[in-house]
Amino acid sequence: MNDTFLKACRGEKTDYTPVWIMRQAGRYLAEYRNIRSKVEFLTLCKTPDLAAEVTIQPLEILNADAAILFSDILIPLEPMGIKLEFSESKGPIIHNPVKSERDIDNLRNINPDEELHFVIETIKILLKNIKVPLIGFSGAPFTLATYMIEGGSSKNFLKAKRMIYQSPESFHRLMELITDNTIRYLLSQIKAGVQAVQIFDSWAGTLSPLDFSLFALPYVKRIISAINNSVPVIYFAFNSSSMIELAKTSGADVIGLDWRIEVANAVERLGGDVSIQGNLDPCILFGTDEVIKERVSLILKGARKAKGHIFNLGHGILPETSVDKAILMVEAVHERSIR
Amino acid sequence: MNDTFLKACRGEKTDYTPVWIMRQAGRYLAEYRNIRSKVEFLTLCKTPDLAAEVTIQPLEILNADAAILFSDILIPLEPMGIKLEFSESKGPIIHNPVKSERDIDNLRNINPDEELHFVIETIKILLKNIKVPLIGFSGAPFTLATYMIEGGSSKNFLKAKRMIYQSPESFHRLMELITDNTIRYLLSQIKAGVQAVQIFDSWAGTLSPLDFSLFALPYVKRIISAINNSVPVIYFAFNSSSMIELAKTSGADVIGLDWRIEVANAVERLGGDVSIQGNLDPCILFGTDEVIKERVSLILKGARKAKGHIFNLGHGILPETSVDKAILMVEAVHERSIR
């Protein structure tokens, strides 16, 4: 077992910097597209053999130091009572968005071991078949709540913010419910054997620092506290580089960074008691090989004083990316970080 | 003439904090929608009487302390040879995007006094009819370049970034051309009488700090240096709260802030030698009156140590906003900032 990734999470010395890529199981891989041409996205998430297969694909192709469970952050919302569809053109659509107190009343608590058994089974298949740590994950409550209220992706998050600024008690009630169930879901994954978890807060960056503190962070803290150091936790709040000190108060072992901040500056602001993950702009992979290598080196150099560093992109890899460029990046990280 | 806004730009003492709203002439106003129901957006921009009328509308309705010329940042691209359309559903569309060196060769230098005479005329009408300072504006070169390369709005700016990371010389050449013409355009506006200018960098926040420094900022600096202190300059780089120290190196008199940073923190990081503008989340205007007043007070308090403070939203006002809430916000700024 290659445990470089776990060591970096915990801030232990490693021989080189471990690397994985957000959305490493995805459309930029012909092998993934081949499977997706036969099954719908939701079916893929719910079929353990296939979900395990696409999770494994990038490990061999890229030589990544960690696997991440193939799934979607919205999956646990279905047993809560949310009617979910993944549209090829529009992304996720929620057919019964949360509009009222009554909609919140109608949400159910989940039993992940039963209702999300396919996830547990996928984890078990993977643990028998991979030689790198397996990362489990969930969405952060704020991000899940915005999807539930907006009914899908959103530009300005007006519906969610209207609830926040008009009926904060309703919003907090929804967040409590989501948090309870996210804890159940992550604890199930951990019990099944994932060796780390990442909490994706894709939309927290749409909040001001005050609202991040009031309406998003307390719930992330509660989740991390419930995980109780059983596995390392990565907290990735996209587009909140101006608020990383706040993100750190979540108690996560690793703070995920997007590319809007220099790593050295992030390390200085975060201090030496937390590891970092990141942070190459996914678009750099559309550059020349030289540009990619140069930028990898700059990030590695910037991270030298970090407690631990896991190399990653600053967001998911884009479907248009050439797989050769992704391989080149992983090689560059490995070669240029040998200590 | 109410010169509170200009005093705040220069960091002089004011009796209260001046306020205006980005997109204050816009669809949230029935009076604006009424005019737009009769003419297309581009026609409105190019008809001085009407453009002046919609510029004036919010001054009376809101009691704002500054007017901003009604126009669009893409307007000066047309005489450069860009074929521009404003689609109601898709936003701006450029029918001949820049794809190659040859497309750059084909761009022309503009003579704003002639080819954009309608802007000059709008300014002259306004100066005779308003009692607050008139702000002229342009897009920042990076933002204009991305529109020209992407052919419109974009999610990941892949085409623009591909040019940056594959053919940086081509990108720089395009930026030089845009910068030359932006300087001409702003100097024409200043000669016509605008009392301040704002440079809108809507997409700079999609860059890493390194790329912001390499590919966007040098051109903003060149523009500000060409303006040569003839009028105060506001530089607003949206979604770059993690890079405000860099934005300051532009040499602008005022740094525009979005809502992703606390004002007091921004003031601390920027130092006492630059004024600030901002930074209420536009979605706060969908909250209760109490929430709006509270958040206004917090921003005013946070800005106390700034060289100068111009209150504004952290982005354009949303079309769905109730005009009563906007009026309430302006009143709250005026009342709560009296010194």
**Beta-carbon separation of A166 and B286 below 8 A:** yes
B288/B295 Cα distance (integer angstroms): 11
pLDDT at B339: 75
Which one of the listed residues A10, A16, A72, A260 is annotated catalytic? A72
- In order along its 339 residues, chain B shows pLDDT tens digits of 999 999 999 999 999 999 999 999 999 999 999 999 999 999 999 999 999 999 999 999 999 999 999 999 999 999 999 999 999 888 999 999 999 999 999 999 999 999 999 999 999 999 999 999 999 999 999 999 999 999 999 999 999 999 999 999 999 999 999 999 999 999 999 999 999 999 999 999 999 999 999 999 999 999 999 999 999 999 999 999 999 999 999 999 999 999 999 999 999 999 999 999 999 999 999 999 999 999 999 999 999 999 999 999 999 999 999 999 999 999 999 999 987
Instruction: Cite the DSSP H helix spans in A2-116.
Output: 4-10, 30-36, 41-46, 48-62, 77-80, 101-105, 112-115
Q: Which residues of B19-50 are buried (b: 16+ CB within 10 A; e: fewer)?
A: bbbbbbbbebbebbeebbeeeeebebbbbbeb
Nearest CA in chain A to B279: A208
pTM for the predicted model, two decimal places = 0.97
User: What DSSP string describes A14-33?
Assistant: -SS--B--TT-SSTTSHHHH
Q: Check: CB of residue B268 under 8 Å from CB of residue B290.
A: no
Q: What is the pLDDT of residue B6?
A: 98
Please give the ipTM for the structure prediction.
0.95
Contact assessment for residue B194 and residue B119, using Cβ atoms and an 8 Å cutoff: no
State how far residue A23 is from chain B, nearest Cα, in angstroms. 15
Question: What pLDDT digit, counting tens, does each position of B78-89 carry?
Answer: 999 999 999 988
Structure-token pair, residue B282:
């536009």
Give the separation between CA B55 and CA B129, rounded to whole angstroms: 11
Contacts of A283 in chain B (CB under 8 A): 156-158, 161-162, 165
How is residue B180 written in tokens?
Answer: 């030359």
Q: What are A61's two structure tokens?
A: 């192709």
Residue B280's pLDDT is 98
Question: Nearest by CB to B208, which of A157, A164, A281?
Answer: A281
Could A165 and B291 be called an inter-chain contact, meaning their C-beta atoms sit closer than 8 Å?
Answer: yes
Instruction: Give the pLDDT of residue A165.
Output: 98
User: A263 vs chain B: nearest CA distance in angstroms?
Assistant: 10
Residues in chain B whose beta carbon is closer than 8 A to a beta carbon of chain A?
156-158, 161-162, 164-166, 205, 207-211, 239-243, 259-262, 265, 281-284, 286-288, 291, 298, 314, 318, 320
Note whether A241 contacts B239, CB cutoff 8 Å: no
Task: Report the residue from B205, B262, B298 with minimal CB separation from A260.
Answer: B205
Active-site annotation holds for A184: no
A209 to B283: CB separation less than 8 angstroms, yes or no: no
User: If DSSP codes are grouped into helix, strand and coil, which group holds residue A191?
Assistant: helix
Q: Which of B165, B213, B263 to mutate to test the interface with A (most CBs of A within 10 A)?
A: B165
Q: Which residues on A lie below 8 Å from B287 (Cβ)?
A: 162, 164-166
Q: What is the distance between the alpha carbons of residues B261 and B249, in angstroms, rounded to a whole number?
A: 18
Amino acid at residue number A204? A
Active site residue A324: no
d(CA B107, CA B105): 6
In this complex, which of A211, A241, A287 lies closest to B242 when CB atoms are compared?
Answer: A241
* A219 carries an active-site annotation: no
How far apart (Å, rounded) are the C-alpha atoms in residues A211 and B295?
A: 11
Q: Are B161 and A318 inside 8 Å of each other by CB?
A: no
Of A164, A242, A298, the CB nearest to B260: A242
Copy the structure tokens of residue B214.
């390499």
Verify whether the Cβ–Cβ distance A209 to B162 is below 8 Å. no
- Would you give the DSSP letter of residue B316? P
| Whole-number Å distance between alpha carbons of A167 and A170 | 6
Give the chain A residue whose CA is nearest to the CA of B162: A286
Q: Which two tokens stand for residue A150?
A: 């907006």
Low-confidence ranges of chain A (pLDDT < 70): none
Cβ–Cβ under 8 Å, residues B284 and B319? no
What is the CA angle B212-B213-B219, rounded to 5?
A: 90
As a whole number of angstroms, the distance between CA A317 and CA A305 comes to 26
Rounded to an integer, what distance in angstroms lies between the CA atom of residue A39 and that of residue A122?
Answer: 17
In sequence order, the β-bridge partners of residue A137 are A198
For residue B22, the surrounding DSSP H or E stretch is none
- What Å distances lie between residue B232 and A105, B74, B196, CA to CA? 54, 22, 5
B260–A282 CB contact, under 8 Å: no
Looking at CA atoms only, how far is residue A217 from chain B in angstroms? 15
Matching residue, tokens 């169930």:
A181
User: Which tokens is A232 given?
Assistant: 């390392």
Residue with tokens 């190196």: B249
Q: How many CA atoms lie within 13 A of A110 on its CB side?
A: 26
List all residues 6 or more positions away from B80 whose beta carbon is below 8 Å from its beta carbon: B107, B108, B109, B110, B177, B178, B181
Angle value at C-alpha B319, between A205 and B44, nearest 5 degrees: 125
Are B291 and A259 inside 8 Å of each other by CB?
Answer: no
Q: What is the pLDDT of residue A20?
A: 98
pLDDT given for residue A88 in this prediction: 85
What is the structure's pLDDT at B7? 98
CA dihedral sign, ordered A111, A113, A117, A119: positive
Domains of chain A (ranges; CATH) run 4-336 (3.20.20.210)
What is the gyration radius of the CA atoms in chain A, in angstroms?
19
Alpha carbons B243 and A304: distance in angstroms, whole number = 21
A10, A12, A188, A241, A278 from A254: Cα distances, Å: 8, 13, 21, 14, 10
H-helix or E-strand spanning residue B176: helix B168-192
What is the count of residue pairs from A and B with beta carbons less than 8 Å apart?
97
Of the candidates B72, B180, B211, B281, the residue annotated as catalytic is: B72
What's the CA gap between A144 and A223, in Å, rounded?
14
CB atoms within 10 A of CB A100: 11
Residues of A in contact with B28 (CB under 8 A): none
Q: What are phi and psi of A70, to 5 degrees?
A: -80, 120
Secondary structure of B103-136 as H, E, C letters: HHHCCCCCCHHHHCHHHHHHHHHHHHHCCCCEEE
B147 catalytically annotated: yes
Query: Which alpha helices (H) appear in B209-288, and where do they start and end?
Result: 209-211, 217-227, 244-248, 263-270
Q: Do A242 and B261 touch (CB under 8 A)?
A: yes
* Residues belonging to chain A with any Cβ–Cβ distance to chain B shorter than 8 Å: 156-158, 161-162, 164-166, 205, 207-211, 239-243, 259-262, 265, 281-284, 286-288, 291, 298, 314, 318, 320
Please give the radius of gyration of chain B, using alpha carbons only, rounded to the nearest integer: 19
Q: Do A161 and B241 touch (CB under 8 A)?
A: no
Of A158, A261, A284, the CB nearest to B286: A158
Chain A residues in contact with B281 by the CB 8 A cut-off are: 161, 207-208, 211
User: Counting Cβ atoms within 10 Å, is residue A72 exposed (0-12), middle (13-18) or buried (19+)?
Assistant: middle
For residue B16, indicate whether it is catalytic: no
Residue B278: its pLDDT value, please? 97
User: Which of B207, B211, B283 lies nearest to residue A165, judging by beta carbons?
Assistant: B283
Nearest to A200 by CA among A151, A132, A247: A247
Nearest to B165 among A158, A243, A287 (CB): A287
Say which of B10, B36, B173, B260 is annotated catalytic.
Answer: B36
Query: Among B156, B202, B149, which residue's Cα sits nearest to residue A286?
Result: B156
What ranges make up the beta strands (E) of A103-223? 134-139, 196-201
